[in-house]
Amino acid sequence: MTATPVGPGYDDPEYDDYDPAWVHQDTPFRRWLVGRLTDAGSSNAVDNASLYAPANRYNGLSSADMDLLATLTGATIDDVRAAHKADLADWGREQQLRDHPDLAVLDADLDRITRQA
């Protein structure tokens, strides 16, 4: 199954901050989702993560999405919300690094990456 990009089409004027790499990008939310879906016995964890991980960053997750993901992963809605917020915080740090690539921000980001490894 090939993941369909989330959000407006590439030529759409609403195509503001969407990054096509999100379909396959390794993000904290994608890792959390793949791990939880795999643990719950899903045979298509990677495909499901390719649908929900980009939506998490581009559109956010609706209450219905969070409820469904909680059910599919065996997690609570609070667990899904925490993973969602952690991903957005990680994305915010990425944006900060892109917007202000001074050495202090770079150093902090490299420390964060090291702790995740």
> pLDDT tens, 72-102?
999 999 999 999 999 988 888 777 777 776 7
Q: pLDDT at position 3, please?
A: 47
Q: Is the pTM of this model over 0.85?
A: no
Q: Residue 89 phi/psi, 5° resolution?
A: -65, -40
Q: By the 8 A CB rule, do 81 and 66 touch?
A: yes
